[in-house]
Structure formats: C-alpha cells, structure tokens
Amino acid sequence: MASDWIERLKSAQKTCITQDGRIKVHYSFQDGSQMAEEYEQSSKLLLVRKWRHKRTLGDFDVWQYEVGESSLPIPEFKELTLRENISNPIFIRLDVKDSFQWRIRNLPYPPDTYSISLDEDKQNVIVRTSNKKYYKKFSISDMVRLGLTLNKEAITFSHINNTLIISVSIFLSLFAYCF
C-alpha cells in the first residue's frame, strides 16, 4: 500500500515555488484530484496540506484542509445572518517534528473529563467526554495511505487554555510497525 502511494506521488505533475518564507508544492494527480502542501522554509515543517477533487461536471470542490487551517479572513457580517457560534469546538491538525498533532479549541472541561481511545479495527482515534458533551472520531490519513497500523501507546493528550492537544508519536508508531 505504501508503494502505491509513492508511485502515485511520483507520477503526479508537480509545481514548487518559494514565497513568503514558505515552500509551496502543488500536485496534480492522474485522477484529476489536486493536493497542495506548504512547508516552513527554515525548519521544513509541514504547515498546510489541502486536497480538492474534481466533481462530475468537471469543476473542482473547495479545498479540504487535512493539515493546518485556512488563512482566509473571517468575514464580518454587518446585518443579521445565520452563522456558526464562535464557541463551538474547532478541530485542526498541526504537525510537529516528532508527532502528528490535533488541537481541539473551545473545550472548557477539566482534563479528567476527556477519554482518548483507539478503535483498532478501523484504526480511528476516538475522543469523548464523560459528560457526553463532545465526541469525535478521526483517522490519521498519512498512516492510512502508507498502510501503517496505529499503536495505542503512541497516543498522548494534554489540556491547556481550553484546547485539547492530542499527539501521536511518529517514532512509537513506526517502532511498533517494524517489530
């Protein structure tokens, strides 16, 4: 499975530019889908990875962020409109050098309220609260593409400033895969 992903990357049309201290790489795949990645120029850390796929009529969907978040400004509404509550939890992925990391902002509950578990059959991480106010299930798309299995010991979490930070150690995940 990992070799399929690598072959898909090799066969994609690639464009790369350096702009504003970021290295931006755009991939166009043979099935019409596109992936764009942005790396910090000095540390080579992945800041943004986003995908868009072709619709049946030939135009493209909007960009779906896999890593990072949109840098577009939030529009100001001058009149009464229906909009999302600003205190809703915000789920984003931000990677660091040694781990995959997810941040869920606007979760005000104490740290002992959270339970992080692993669905070993579907390879999903499950976040839930004991007061049943929040539930989220997600997979690690990088590991799915490479065919790696997730190790429960590699998952840690912390809660700081109403933000739940879930980390999956890359080294522990790969170590469990190798042995």
User: 38 and 104 share a domain?
Assistant: no
Q: Which residues contact 153 (CB under 8 A, 6 or more apart)?
A: 172, 176
User: 44 and 110 share a domain?
Assistant: no
Query: Is position 74 within any domain?
Result: no
Long-range Cβ contacts of 58-61 (<8 Å, 24+ apart): 60/34
80 vs 93, more confident: 93
Percentage of the chain modeled with pLDDT above 70: 89
pLDDT, tens only, 149-176 = 888 888 999 999 999 999 998 776 655 5
Query: Is position 79 within any domain?
Result: no
Query: Is position 83 within any domain?
Result: no
User: 102 and 166 share a domain?
Assistant: yes
CA distances (Å), origin 132, targets 9, 88, 92, 136: 41, 15, 21, 11
pLDDT confidence bin for 16, thresholds 50/70/90: very high
Position 79: which residue type?
E
177 has a pLDDT exceeding 60: no
Query: What's the predicted TM-score (pTM) here?
Result: 0.75
User: What is the mean predicted confidence (pLDDT) over 97-119?
Assistant: 92
Q: How far is CA 39 from the centre of its chain?
A: 14
Q: How far apart are CA 155 and CA 59, in angstroms?
A: 39
Query: Is position 81 within any domain?
Result: no
72 vs 147, more confident: 147
Nearest CA to 125 out of 161, 88, 166 is that of: 166
CATH code: domain of residue 167? 2.60.40.790
Number of domains in the chain: 2
Residue range(s) defining the domain that contains residue 105:
90-178
Predicted pLDDT of residue 179: 47
56 has a pLDDT exceeding 60: yes
Give yes or no for a contact between 62 and 87, defined as CB atoms under 8 angstroms apart.
Answer: no
Q: Which residues contact 6 (CB under 8 A, 6 or more apart)?
A: none
56 vs 64, more confident: 64
Query: Is position 78 within any domain?
Result: no
Give yes or no for a contact between 107 and 89, defined as CB atoms under 8 angstroms apart.
Answer: yes
User: 59 and 110 share a domain?
Assistant: no
For residue 27, give the H/E element and its range. Answer: strand 22-28
